[in-house]
Every structure is written in C-alpha cells, then in structure tokens.
C-alpha cells in the first residue's frame, strides 16, 4: 500500500511569489490534514478535510493560504503571495477515520527568500 | 487551548542505556495521546498511542509510555536503547471532546545514541 506522498520535496521561491504544494493521501482515507513546522518550533496543525469538505481550518495562519481538495482525493495548499515567515516544512497526513492514527507524508520544505 | 511540553530538546545516551522522555500536556478534557518518531530521512511514524483503558501502553520497537492523568503526563520509556533509535521524538495530544481536529505537538526531542 502506497503511503502519503507530497510534491515537491523542496521548493525555493522569492518573497511575493506563489507556490502550490500537493498531497496525495493513502487511498481510501477520507481525512486529510495539513501541518507546518517552522524551524525551531513545534509542528502546528493547519486544517482538516473530510473528503472534499473543510472540517476545521482553525490553524490556517491568514488568507494568503488556500487549501483545496477537489473530488476528495488529493489536496493542494497554495501560498499567495509568499512571505519570509512562511518558510518551513509542510506536512500532510491522512487517516481513514478521524479518531484513528494519522499517517504522515515526507513533507515539503519551503524556503522563501 | 491545548499545549504540549517536552522537557528535553536534546538527549545523548550510550547504547544499552535506559531512556525516559518527558511529556506533559495542558488540556481540560479527555485526551488522546501519541508519540511519533522521525528517523533521519524518513517520515513521521507512530510509535504508540493512548485512547483509553490500561494507562501503560506498549508500542513498536520496545517502546512504552505511561499515562498519568493526575500529572497530565505521558512519558516515553525504553529499557535499553540501540544506535538505531537515534531520531527525533514528538509527543502529541488531541482533545477527544472538541477543540481543533488536528494534533497538538510538542517541540520534539532529538535523541542521539552513541555506539
């Protein structure tokens, strides 16, 4: 069984540019989560999808971040325009049922210069 | 709001030493508790979890953790560490009765095992 995959693994962009991160959850997992780890800090929850619906987006930092999950399969997280403080590692996780274990992807390391 | 505190940011041990990593959480209701590990170059993976029942839970690779409700703690233990246990360890909590859907993580503990 394939695990959670994320693309790209690394992205380096300049301040003001746009970046789109992609996450493919484990097949059949309705629950998809985005997290972010800024260097030196803890991993922080951003949002939670159940199928294509946003269940909880309480962790999204501001309106420069837009997450979508069309068709309830893969998800994208767009940052527009990117700021320096957006640098960090963005993790995606999925689970079959909300209460169950979350399986994490390898993360996308975003560097904003 | 939930929070998780991991007491040690860096721990260095020799092989065969015993390990205990501290984790305390702050949350007013019923919680689910987790320990995740990230080995160098690999994904975060679940070591063990506590939802209910026996407060002493056993996980993969010989790890165990004890939930002490009165102390809001969920410390991770292993009686004899190996070089392959070198990794970053994360304690996480999720409120089972409400609050944010996601996990709240501690800052992580870098564990280095010297051969």
Q: Is A2 on the interface with B (CB under 8 A)?
A: no
How far, in Å, CA of A22 to CA of A107, rounded?
A: 10
* Cβ pair B103, A46 in contact under 8 A: no
Task: Indicate the pLDDT class of residue B104, thresholds 50, 70 and 90.
Answer: very high
One digit per residue, the tens of pLDDT, for chain A of length 113 reads: 689 999 999 999 999 999 999 999 999 999 999 999 998 899 999 999 999 999 999 999 999 999 999 888 999 999 999 999 999 999 999 999 877 889 999 999 999 99
How far, in Å, CA of A88 to CA of A82, rounded?
A: 12
Instruction: Using an 8 Å CB-CB cutoff, list chain A residues near B32.
Output: 99
| Residue A1: predicted pLDDT | 65
Please list the alpha-helical segments (H only) found in chain A: none
Percent of chain B with pLDDT over 90: 83
Radius of gyration of chain A (CA): 13
Contact between chains at A42 and B100 (C-beta distance less than 8 A): no
The residue with tokens 């990230």 is B38
Structure tokens at A42: 């803890």
Furthest CA-CA distance within chain A: 38
Q: Which residues in chain A (12-31) have CB-CB distances under 8 A to chain B?
A: none
User: Does residue B97 register a pLDDT over 70?
Assistant: no
CA B114 to chain centre: 21
User: Does residue B50 register a pLDDT over 90?
Assistant: yes
User: Does residue B85 register a pLDDT over 70?
Assistant: yes
DSSP β-bridge partners for residue B37: B45, B89
């Amino acid at each position: 069984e394939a695990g959670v995959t994320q693309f790209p693994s690394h992205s380096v962009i300049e301040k003001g540019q746009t970046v789109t991160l992609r996450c493919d959850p484990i097949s059949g997992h309705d629950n998809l989560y985005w997290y972010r780890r800024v260097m030196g800090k803890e991993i922080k929850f951003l949002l939670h999808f159940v199928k294509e619906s946003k269940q909880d987006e309480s962790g999204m930092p501001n309106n420069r971040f837009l997450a979508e999950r069309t068709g309830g399969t893969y998800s994208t997280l767009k940052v527009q325009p990117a700021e320096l403080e957006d640098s960090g590692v963005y993790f995606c996780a999925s689970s079959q049922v909300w209460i169950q274990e979350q399986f994490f992807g390898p993360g996308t390391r975003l560097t904003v210069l | 709001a939930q929070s998780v505190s991991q007491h040690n940011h860096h721990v260095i041990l020799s092989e065969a030493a015993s390990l205990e990593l501290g984790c305390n959480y702050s949350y007013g209701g019923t919680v689910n508790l987790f320990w995740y590990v990230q080995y160098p170059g690999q994904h975060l993976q679940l070591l063990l979890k506590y939802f209910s029942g026996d407060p002493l839970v056993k996980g993969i690779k010989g790890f165990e953790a004890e939930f002490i409700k009165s102390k809001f703690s969920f410390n991770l233990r292993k009686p004899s560490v190996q070089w392959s246990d070198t990794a970053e360890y994360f304690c996480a909590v999720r409120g089972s009765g409400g609050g944010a859907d996601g996990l709240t993580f501690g800052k992580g503990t870098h564990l280095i095992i010297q051969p």
